[in-house]
Chains A and B, each alone.
Chain A
Amino acid sequence: MKIRALALLIVVGGVCLVLLTLQTRGHGARTADALALVTTPVQMGLDKVHRGALGLWSTYLDWKNVRAENRRLRDEIQQLRVEALRVNETSDENARLRRLLTLREQLPMTTLPGEVIAREWGGWIRSLTVNRGRGDRVARLTAVISPDGLVGRVVDVRPGVSIVQVLTDPASSLSAHVVRTRTSGLVEGEPSGSLRLKFMARDGAGIQPGDLVVTSGLGGLFPRGIPVGRVRAIDDRGSALFHYATLTPVVDFSRIDEVLLVTGQTTVDVAAHFPSDG
């Protein structure tokens, strides 16, 4: 066995040495050509397989990259959406606070800014909880306003918070008048969430839908001229002593986040500081 193997090695070695010698003496071209006849087609085949495999691999990598990029872009879009929402929210808050600050600076009375931290929105009671309380020297029946108009009055003062009765609360009533006709009446909250202006029939002949109703200042609770609502419909009861007008509140109580608590007193009409067309 070993002798056969050794003989094989000697033969192989001999062939190699012969090949090498032939090449150095210039006779190697024929041998190379003969071998190339066998190797070249195989080489070409292998190259094709290699290229095919590379192409396949490259396609797979492309697909993988596209998928990864797709995922990355989706995440980025999601982040940008959240970012945009945050920016919008901040921008809205900024605008609201700016309006509140402008109003606070312009009003001829002292006010205290507050944030709405809770809402009670059942039909029985409609109230807001504001983060200003006894420690801020908030008094009961303090008027609460926003840049759009009247919100309500403080009905309960607690440590750290105040409960504000909203105008649409069924128990709420205040003295008001129609700006255009000077018709005075009583604005009451309704369980449906709207307001009702109760006025003497002889005074309200000229009231029209769209007319602005503001606080009258009578009773000294609310400063004069704060917008309350706009006339939506008039309930004409013929010869009855009192007529009713349904009002739409100028303040969207469900969306309000910041308010001003009127801590000072004034006898001046403040209507000029509120939007009259809104």
Chain B
Amino acid sequence: MRGMLVLTVFGGGMAQATLGSALRIGNVTPDIPLIVVVLLALRRGPEFGCLAGFAAGLLQDTASGGLIGVQALTKALIGFGIGLASQPLRVTQPLVQVPGLIVLSVAEGVVRFALLAMFHFPAHFGDLMMYVVLPQALYNGFLAAAIVFALAWAETLRSRTS
């Protein structure tokens, strides 16, 4: 089980650079590692979410050739935050998870921009939100919905067969 989780985090982190382009619609690509981190953090709690976010983000940073540590930090924060929120808020319903992921994607974008701004990132915040963060957040939501429903269907199937 642990091996499976490591593989999921590792695969999720690495998949962005290779599979992200295959899932591209126009200029928008989903943030696969973020989806993986959020879904895992919801099930495994803040510690696992934090570590998974750090690992996936670090791999994503390395693979994409950007500043190493930016996405590691933002995704670790998101993983931690959502893991922490999942317990009191009981955000286990797909209808809550999907809009939640959209909001988290936007939050991750804002945090990432804030962090990069400290290193004199040149892009304009409005443009970044309009053309990158918001479309990607919506795409993440749709993709997450598909994944959540697929997982639910698989679990139902497994419970029927067992």
Contact = CB atoms under 8 A, between A and B. Distances in A.
A42 B10 contact: yes
A4 B119 CA distance: 30
A46 B15 contact: yes
Main secondary structure of the interface of B (DSSP, over half): helix
Given A12-B51, A19-B72, A50-B22, A39 B62 contact: yes
B63 A8 contact: no
A110 interface: no
Given A12-B50, A16-B54, A39-B59, A5 B69 contact: no
Given A5-B46, A5-B80, A17 B63 contact: no
A12 B68 contact: no
B14 interface: yes
Identify which of A17, A28, A42 gathers the most chain B CB atoms within 10 Å of its CB: A42
B161 interface: no
A5 B73 CA distance: 15
A20 B10 CA distance: 21
Contacts of B50: 5, 8-9, 12
A20 B73 CA distance: 10
A13 B91 CA distance: 25
A38 to B, nearest CB: 8
Contact of A43 (B18, B54, B73, B119): B18
A35 B47 CA distance: 23
Given A19-B72, A23-B68, A36-B62, A8 B14 contact: no
Interface residues of B, number: 31
A27 to B, nearest CB: 11
A28 B68 contact: yes
A190 to B, nearest CB: 81
B69 A17 contact: yes
Interface residues of A, number: 26
Interface string B69-111: 1101100110010011000000000000000000000000000
A5 B49 CA distance: 10
A56 interface: no
Contacts of A50: 18-19, 22
B63 A43 contact: yes
A156 to B, nearest CB: 78
Given A16-B72, A24-B119, A50-B18, 13 more contacts: A5-B80, A8-B80, A9-B77, A12-B50, A12-B73, A15-B72, A19-B69, A20-B69, A20-B115, A31-B68, A36-B62, A43-B17, A46-B11
29 contacts: A5-B46, A5-B50, A5-B80, A5-B83, A9-B46, A9-B50, A9-B80, A12-B51, A12-B54, A13-B73, A15-B69, A16-B54, A16-B69, A17-B73, A20-B115, A23-B67, A28-B68, A32-B62, A35-B58, A35-B68, A36-B62, A39-B59, A39-B63, A43-B14, A43-B17, A46-B15, A46-B17, A46-B18, A50-B22
